[in-house]
Chains A and B, each alone.
Chain A
Amino acid sequence: MKSTASLRRREVKQLLRQMGQRVYTDLDNAVFPELVFPSRSVRNIVYDEGLKQYILGSSSIRRSSQNIKHIRPFSQLVWLAYFVNKLVAEGKTSTLRDVFYSSQAYNVEFVDQDESDEIITDLEEVLSKAREDFSVYPEERSAIFGDLTIEYTVPGYEGKKLNLSSHPDGYLIGPSLSTAEFVDTSAEMVLAVEKGGIFTRFVEEKVHKKFKALVIDTAGQPPRSTRYMLKRLHQELGLPVYIVTDGDVYGEHIAMVIISGSANAAHLRELTVSSAKWVGVWASDVVKYKLPSNPMTEADIKRAQELKKDPRYTGGIWQRELDLFLKIRRKSELEAFSKYGLTHITDKYLPEKLREAKGM
C-alpha cells in the first residue's frame, strides 16, 4: 500500500515553496508580485458533463500587490501560505476559526472569520489543493468504523497503528485520521450513512462483518474531510462506495454531493467519488417497502423542483426519484424501517438494495 499521506504533504510543501519563490523573485526584481487564480463568481461556476461535477470556468482573478484594494488580501494570502507551511512542516493542524485568530499575531488581521475563510479558499485555488491538504480542518466531524488498520503520521503518534473496529462508537474523521496511512483492511465496500443512529445500529448489527464494510457516518451533508476520506478509501483501497440516506430530497442530494461535488467546492476536483452509488432510501422504496411517511413540506417540494433543473440530476435514477417524490409528496426517514423490527433494515432492506445497486 503506497504512502499517499506523506506524498501529499510533500506535494503541498513543494507548491507552497513555489508560490513563495514567485512572490520573492518579483519583489527582488522590484516588480509588484501578483497571483492569478480562477474566479469563484457564480458566472464562472460551470457544470462539466464529462466529469459530471461543477468546475470553475476560464475567467480568473489577478490579485496584484500594486492595487491598493488588493494588497491587503494579497498580504493575507501570502501570510496564510507562510502559516500553513509551518503547520505542514510541524505536522500540526488548525481550524478555520483558529486561522482567523492566528492572523492577529502577524499584523495581517482579518475583519471577521468570513474574510479569513475567503482567503483560505483563495489558497485552495492557488495551490489547487483542498484546505485539509494544508492542515486546515473544519470544526464538524463525522465518524468511521470497520476493519481498517491505519498508521498515524501526526507527531507523537508516528508509526502507531490502530484498527478502526476497536471502538464501537467509531472514530472521528479528524486531522490525524485524515493524514494516516492505510495499512490493511478486509473490507470490500464502504457504506456511508446519513445518520448517527443508523450508524450505531449498523455497528450493533455487525454490518461491517456481514457485508465486509467500512461504515461511515456522514452526519448529514458530509464535511470535506469525510468526502476526502471516502475518496481515499475508494482510490487507495479500491473499495466501492454505497450511500444510504433518508428517503427525501435532502438525502438524495447528500448522495449527489458525494458523487458529483458541490458548487461551493467547484475549484476542487479531488473530493468526488463518481462511481459511488446511492442505494436508498428512494421514493420508490417508500412505496415498495410501505414505509411510514410524512407529507413533504412546501420547502421540500420547492427544493425538489430546484434540483430537477440541476444539471447534475439529468437522467438515471436521479430525475426518476425526484419525479416520484413530487408525485407521492411523501418522505420517510431511515428509522421508519423500525416499524418492521429493529433489524429489518440490515436483514432485509440493505441486502436487497446492495444487490440492486451492484447491478446498476
Chain B
Amino acid sequence: MANRQVAFAEISPSEFFYRNRDLAGFSNPARALYSAVRELVENSLDACELFKILPEVTVTVSGLDRDSEEPDPKPYVVTVRDNGPGIDPRYVPNAFGRVFFGSKFLLRQSRGMFGMGGTMAILYGQITTTKPVTVVTSFDGNTTYTFDLMIDIQANRPIVLRRESQHGDGSTGTSVKLTLEGDYFRAAQKIQDYFKQCAMVTPYAKLTHVDPQGRKFPFERGTSAMPNPPEETLPHPYGIDVEAFRRLVKQSTQTSLVKFMSSSFHRVGPKIASQFLQFAGSDPNKNPGELTSEETVRLVEAIHRFDGFLQPDASCLSPLGSEILDAGIRKELQPEFAATSIRPPSAYSGYPFIVEVGLAYGGRVLSPGVKLFRFANRIPLLYDEASDVSWRVISEEIDWKRYRIPPEAPLGIITHVCSTKIPYKTVGKEYLADRPELERELKNAVRDVLRQLSGYLKKKGSMEMVKRKLNIYGKYLPLIARFSTNLAKAKRPPRYGKLLGKRDSPREEQRRIEEYS
C-alpha cells in the first residue's frame, strides 16, 4: 500500500463539471434537456431585467433530424432568443466557452450564480452530439455577430470556429442555439410546468415555447411593471470564509487593515472597522498583504464572533413586490381570491434575503388540496418539493385549523425567496435548506396570507349567511303574514317588506293588496 503511486492531476473546472454533471442537473437526457432550456431562459431573463427591458423570450425545441421517427433519447436543437441588451462580441467566446468566466466578488441577486449553467448546457451538448453552439447577438442594434463555439474541456478555453458580422435591424438581443441529446417525451411535462410557473413570477415577460411538433405555447405579458434591478454590493463580513478573505486581500490595493476592512465589506465603514480590529486585537495599520495564514484564520474567526457589524441592506435584492406577484398569480391561476405578503429584508450568515409569499384560492385552474409553488430568485423549483423548507413550513409549522379554511379547499401557495445567495441544499438548485431565519420569515408570510384568506372566507361566509337568511325570510314571512292576516281578520296584508331588506314601492304594495283581496 505504501508503495502504491497515487497520481494527482489538476483538472479544469470544465472537466470537473463534466465529471460531476449529475450535480448540475444533467444526469440524464430528460433532465439535461429541461436544464438546458431553463439555464438559457434564465440567462435571458437576467440580462433583460438588469437593463429594465420588458423580456420577450422564445424557446424552440426541435429534433435535429426533424423527420426522424427515432425514439427518444435523440439529438435535439434548443434555440433561445431574447430581446435583451446583447453581448459585446469581445466577451462572447469567454461568456459561453469557459466555466466560471466573470467570477467576481461583488454580489447581487440574479438567477444564475456564476453564469455556469448556460456553459454547462453547451458543454453537455458538445459532449453528446459534438456540435458547436451558435450564438447570434447584437448589443448596439447596428451589427449582428454570429459565433460558432466549442469548449476545450481540459484547458477550459473557448474555441471559436466561426465569427461573422452582418448589419443589424436596429434591435438588440441574443439568440443561443445548441444541440444536445435529450428526451423530450420525458421532459415535456417539466418544461411545460417550468414555463407556467415562470410566467407566474415574471408576469412582465412574454414567453413563447415551441415544441418539437411545432406547437406554440404562448405566455402573454400580464403587466408592464418590472421589479427594480438589484444593485451590486460588497460581501458582508458574516458571509466570508478564510479562502474568500484571502482572495479579497489579494484583490485589494489597500495597505492598512482598517482601510481594507472599510473598503472591501458591505456596510463596514472606518468606525466599525476600527471597533472590530480592536475587538480582534489586530493592529489597524498592519498591511493586510502581510497577514500570515494563522493571523488570517484568527481574524476570520473574530469576524464571526463580532456582533458589531450592521445587518446587510436589501438594495442588492430585487423582490417582485406585491403588485407583480399578485398580477402573476391572477394571470396564471385565475383564482377567486389572491393575497400576498412581502416580508421586510432579513439576513442569514451575512446574506440578505427577502421572502415573498402569495396565495391563490379557488377559481378554475387549481384543484382541491394545497399546491405549493416554490421560487428562488424567480426560478421555479420543480424537483424535490418534500425536502424544501417551504414544504416543511406549510406541512408542519402551520396550524391550519386556526384559519378555518375548509378541508380540500383549492389552494395555491407561492413562496419566493430572493437573496444574493440562495441557501440551496445541492448544486442542482432544486430545494432550499432549513435556515432558521428563512423558516421564520416563511412562516410569518404564510400565516399572513392565510389570515387574509381567512378574513375573506369569513366575510364571504357572512355575506352568504345574509343571503341565506333573506331567502328563508322570503319563504316564511309571506306565510306568517297570510295566516296572521286571516287570524286577525285584517283587511290588508301587513307591510313587512322592510324585513326582507327592501322597501315596498307603492306599486308593489298595490300588487300585494290585489293578490290578497
Q: Is A166's CB within 8 Å of the partner chain B?
A: no
Supply 23 A–B pairs (Cβ within 8 Å), ascending by A.
Answer: A16-B487, A17-B489, A20-B484, A20-B488, A21-B484, A21-B488, A23-B480, A24-B490, A24-B494, A25-B494, A27-B499, A28-B494, A33-B480, A33-B484, A65-B477, A71-B473, A71-B476, A71-B477, A74-B476, A74-B480, A85-B487, A107-B475, A108-B479
* Closest B residue by C-beta to A21: B488
Answer yes or no: B495 CB below 8 A from chain A CBs.
Answer: yes
CA distance A65 to B481 in the complex (A): 11
A24 close to B484 (CB less than 8 A): yes
What 1/0 mask marks residues of chain B from 287 to 329 whose CB sits below 8 Å from any chain A CB?
Answer: 0000000000000000000000000000000000000000000
* Contact partners of A75 in chain B: CB under 8 A: 476, 479-480, 483
Chain A contact-residue range equals 20 to 34
Give the complex CA separation of A27 and B475 in angstroms.
15
Closest to A72 in B: B476
Tell whether A79 is near chain B: CB-to-CB under 8 Å.
yes
Any B CB within 8 A of the CB of A32: yes
CB–CB A107/B477 < 8 A:
no
Interface residues of A in 101-130 (CB under 8 A from B): 106-108
CB within 8 Å of A: which B465-481 residues: 468-469, 472-473, 475-477, 479-481
Which residue of A is nearest B465, CB measured?
A: A68
Q: Which residues of A contact B476 (CB under 8 A)?
A: 65, 71-72, 74-75
Q: Which residues from chain A contact B497 at a C-beta distance below 8 Å?
A: 30
Does A198 have its Cβ within 8 Å of any Cβ on chain B? no
A19 CB within 8 Å of chain B: yes
B463 to chain A, nearest CB (A): 15
Let me know if B483 and A21 touch, CB within 8 A: no
Distance in angstroms between the alpha carbons of A136 and B499 in the assembled complex? 33
Minimum-distance CB pairs A-B, first 10: A20-B487, A28-B494, A27-B494, A82-B483, A23-B484, A20-B488, A30-B498, A24-B488, A27-B496, A21-B488
B165 at the interface (CB under 8 A from A): no
* Distance, CA A102 to CA B499, complexed state (A): 28
Question: Does the CB pair A81–B487 fall under 8 Å?
Answer: yes
Q: How many residues of B contact A (CB 8 A)?
A: 24
In the assembled complex, the CB of B372 is this many whole angstroms from the nearest CB of chain A, namely 39
A72 to B477, CA, bound (A): 10
Query: What are the interface flags for B441-475 relative to A under an 8 Å C-beta threshold, 1 for contact and 0 otherwise?
Result: 00000000000000000000000000011001101
Indicate if A87 sits at the interface (CB-CB under 8 A): no
- The answer to whether A79 touches B479 (Cβ under 8 A) is yes
- The A contact surface, by secondary structure, is helix
Minimum CB–CB distance for A83 against chain B, Å: 8
CB nearest to B471 among chain A residues: A68
* Residue ID in chain A nearest B497 by CB atoms: A30
Q: A23-B484, A27-B481, A27-B499 are in contact. List 14 more A-B contacts (CB 8 A).
A: A16-B487, A17-B489, A20-B483, A21-B488, A23-B480, A24-B488, A27-B480, A33-B480, A78-B480, A79-B479, A82-B483, A82-B486, A106-B479, A107-B475
Spell out B's residues near A (CB within 8 Å): 468-469, 472-473, 475-477, 479-481, 483-490, 494-499
Question: CB < 8 Å: which of B485, B486, B490, B495 contacts A30?
Answer: B495
CB atoms of B483 and A81 under 8 A apart: yes
Which residues of B have CB within 8 Å of A71? 472-473, 476-477
Interface of chain A residues 127 through 155 with chain B (CB within 8 A): none
Interface residues of A in 172-203 (CB under 8 A from B): none
**Separation of A223 and B483 alpha carbons in the complex (Å):** 30
Question: Is A30 in contact with B496, judged by CB distance below 8 angstroms?
Answer: yes
- Using a CB–CB cutoff of 8 Å, the interface residues on chain A facing chain B are 16-17, 19-21, 23-25, 27-28, 30, 32-33, 65, 68, 71-72, 74-75, 78-79, 81-82, 85, 106-108
Residues of B within 8 A of A16 (CB): 487
Known contacts A17-B489, A21-B488, A24-B490, A79 near B473 by CB under 8 Å: no
Tell whether A20 pairs with B486 under 8 Å between CB atoms, given A27-B480, A28-B496: yes
CB distance from B221 to the nearest CB of A (A): 48
Q: CB < 8 Å: which of B469, B487, B494 contacts A19?
A: B487
Knowing A33-B480, A75-B479 touch, does A21 contact B496 (C-beta < 8 A)? Answer: no
Q: In the assembly, what is the distance between CA of A180 and CA of B485, in Å?
A: 31
Instruction: Let me know if A82 and B487 touch, CB within 8 A.
Output: yes
Contacts of B486 in A (CB 8 A): 20, 82, 85
**A69 closest partner in B (C-beta):** B472
Q: How far is the CA of A254 from the CA of B480 in the complex (A)?
A: 41
Q: How far is the CA of A290 from the CA of B495 in the complex (A)?
A: 74
Report the bound CA distance from A339 to B221 in whole Å: 107
Which of B472, B489, B490 is A68 in contact with, Cβ under 8 Å?
B472
- Considering the complex, give the chain B residue whose CB is closest to the CB of A28: B494
Q: Which residue on A lies nearest to B473, using beta carbons?
A: A71
B488: chain A residues at CB < 8 Å are: 17, 20-21, 23-25
Choose among B473, B484, B485, B496 the residue with the greatest number of A CB atoms under 10 Å from its CB.
B484
Bound CA–CA A81/B469 (angstroms) = 25
Measured CA separation A99–B496 after assembly (Å): 28
Chain B residue contacts of A33, Cβ below 8 A:
480, 484
A78 engages B469 (CB within 8 Å): no
> Are A27 and B487 in touch, CB under 8 angstroms?
no
A68 CA to B474 CA, complexed, in Å = 12
In the assembled complex, the Cα of A106 lies from the Cα of B479 at a distance in Å of 8
Residue of B nearest to A108 (CB): B479
A23 to B490, CA, bound (A): 11
From known contacts A68-B469, A79-B479, A106-B479, infer whether A28 and B495 are also in contact, taking CB-CB under 8 Å: yes
